[in-house]
Structure 1
Amino acid sequence: MSGDVELLNYIYQNSEMGQRTLTQLLGIVKDDVFKRNLESQLNEYREIFDISDSKLKEVNKEAKGIGVLTKVSTYVSINLNTLTDKAPSHISELLIRGSTMGIVDITRNLKRYDDMDKEIVDLGKRLLKFEQRNIEELKKFL
């Protein structure tokens, strides 16, 4: 059970970070086509987040969200990285880097917890495929 909870918490934190990042970027982005792409990604992160949250509640566990330091440093990093360049190509590059880190982490976690509850593993695989799709979609804006 603890492996299930650890994997769910990872999925929860990853999707929480995705939501925070995209919500912040949506306030910066001006290009309508790019904005629609980010909104679509945000919706998928919300779905994955909600599912992971529900599954944690099913097993009477409270989700461990991302820490305050991580939230603050990410917020500052986004502001600094978009201060002088708000172009879709630049923001896409930043998001591709983030999704690549997410792919590495979820792949590592899926291997580590491969014998866990099938529904939880499937949610992790959904997150992995989603991150891979994000990269392909974002490449169009480079």
Structure 2
Amino acid sequence: MQNEIEMLRSIRQSTEMGCSGIRAVLPEAQNPAMQSALRSQWKEYDSIYAEADRLLRERGVRLSGVNPLAKYGSMLTAKLRVRSSRNTTARIAEMLVQGNTRGMVKSMQNLRAMGVLDPKVSSLSTRLLQTEQANIEEMKHFL
């Protein structure tokens, strides 16, 4: 049960940061196709976040979000990196590929380290991993 809780917390944190990162760069995106892709990714992250949140509550876990200072710092850094770039679309895509790659590595490490989990938790973890892979593929078109 403890592994399941740790996995769900990790999923929740990853998707919360994903939503935060997208929220930071969405106003900077000038390409309509990029804006659409970002909204779609945000929606999927939000859905996975809500499911992880629900499963944690079912297990009686008290929840807290990502440190607001960490989120703010990440958002500020993202905005500055995009604004300092000549090609904002490619820069946003690059940042998202990097973030999704970090998320994939963490997801794979968690899956291997935590072993057999409740099927709902395992399924959600796999869904996050597949989402991150799909996000990378989608962003490659904007590089």
TM range (shorter): over 0.9
Q: Which runs of 5+ in 1 are unaligned?
A: none
Distance 2:115 2:68 in 1: 30
Alignment of 1:72-83 (within 5 A): 72-83=72-83
Rounded to whole Å, the distance in 1 between the matches of 2:64 and 2:100 is: 21
The offset of 1:48, in angstroms, is 0.1
> In the alignment, is the contact (CA less than 8 A) between 2:28 and 2:88 conserved in 1?
no
Query: Aligned ranges for residues 93-112 of structure 1 at < 5 Å?
Result: 93-112=94-113
Are the aligned partners of 1:103 and 1:128 in contact in 2 as well (CA < 8 Å)?
A: yes
TM-score by length of 2: 0.94
**Aligned counterpart, 2:24:** 24
Give the structure 2 partner of residue 67 of structure 1: 67
Moved >3 Å (runs of 4+): none
Deviation by residue 1:43-99 (Cα, 9 ceiling, x = unmatched): 100100000000011111123421233212201211220122252111101110110
Report percent identity of matched pairs.
32
The residue type paired with residue 92 of structure 2 is I
Match of 1:56 in 2: 56
Cα separation, 2, equivalents of 1:95 and 1:112:
25
Supply the RMSD in Å over aligned alpha carbons: 1.1
- Distance in 2 (CA, whole Å) between partners of 1:23 and 1:139 is 20
Displacement, 1:118?
1.4
Match of 2:33 in 1: 33
Amino acid corresponding to residue 62 of structure 2 in structure 1: E
Q: TM-score, normalised by structure 1?
A: 0.95
CA contact (8 A) 2:48 2:128 kept: yes
Distance apart, 1:26 and its partner CA: 1.2
Question: Aligned pair count?
Answer: 142
CA contact (8 A) 2:28 2:83 kept: no
